[in-house]
Amino acid sequence: MSMHHTHDAILKHIPAVGDVLVTSQSKPILTLLEDTGPGIHDTTVAACSHELYERILGIGPTDFHDSCTANLHASLRALGYKLCDDPLDFYTPSPFNLWMNVPLRTKSASSFEDWWAPPAAGQKAGDYVVMRAEQNCVCVMSACPSSDISPLNGPGGKSHDINCQVFNPV
């Protein structure tokens, strides 16, 4: 899935119910069918990574901390897949960050803590999205592994479990 190509396909930055998300070849891959939350999702921020932690949070070069990037590559390796022929698994596509509130900005935020906005009004535990696969695909989910070292979930924020269900075609 390509967030950049999806922006072009739907002519906006935040997909809504009925929108089709596409690949880098602009082929449909997922359609957003239901969204019980406030409809705020990020498609612009890169997946968190060790390099981001080093640059912004001061994590040492040899200090390992889980990240969405590490989770993606480990999950794909466990299934026998990799994203490209890069032996270092360097490439990571831009994620579809469900329920992450990142306003588009024309000026720099004053600090890393100001980069994200608080959860959108109306967001609550139990919110869910339903997506239909438009082609065979592998989906990897990661629940904010950096919440103990970043301000992403607000003061005292913490990660919450996520659940995924795969339904057979009707």
**Average pLDDT rounded to a whole number, residues 116-133:** 88
- Select from 102, 99, 108, 2 the least CA-distant residue to 45: 102
pLDDT of 151 over the 70 cut = no
Q: How wide is the angle at C-alpha 130 spanned by C-alphas 135 and 134, nearest 5°?
A: 10
Sheet architecture: strand order including 20-22: 20-22, 28-35, 129-133
Which tokens go with 30? Answer: 């997922």
The whole-angstrom separation of Cα 26 and Cα 22 is: 5
pLDDT of 133 over the 90 cut = yes
The whole-angstrom separation of Cα 152 and Cα 102 is: 10
Contact between 127 and 143 under an 8 Å Cβ cutoff? The reply is: no
**Average pLDDT rounded to a whole number, residues 1-7:** 96
**Average pLDDT rounded to a whole number, residues 140-164:** 73
User: What pTM, to 2 d.p., does this model score?
Assistant: 0.86
The whole-angstrom separation of Cα 115 and Cα 104 is: 10
The whole-angstrom separation of Cα 36 and Cα 38 is: 7
Share of the chain above pLDDT 90, in %: 41
**Residue 64 — very low, low, confident or very high, per pLDDT cuts 50/70/90?**
confident
9-32: pLDDT as tens digits: 999 999 999 999 999 999 999 999
**Residue 7 — very low, low, confident or very high, per pLDDT cuts 50/70/90?**
very high
pLDDT of 84 over the 60 cut = yes
What pLDDT, on a 0 to 100 scale, did the predictor assign at position 156?
A: 62
**Average pLDDT rounded to a whole number, residues 69-95:** 84
Q: Are strands 28-35 and 129-133 parallel, antiparallel or unpaired?
A: antiparallel
pLDDT of 75 over the 60 cut = yes
**Average pLDDT rounded to a whole number, residues 133-154:** 80
pLDDT of 157 over the 80 cut = no
90-103: pLDDT as tens digits: 788 889 999 888 88
Which segments of 30-160 does DSSP mark as H helices, in order? Answer: 50-52, 68-78
Which residue would you say has higher pLDDT here, 151 or 109? 109
Which tokens go with 141? Answer: 């989910």
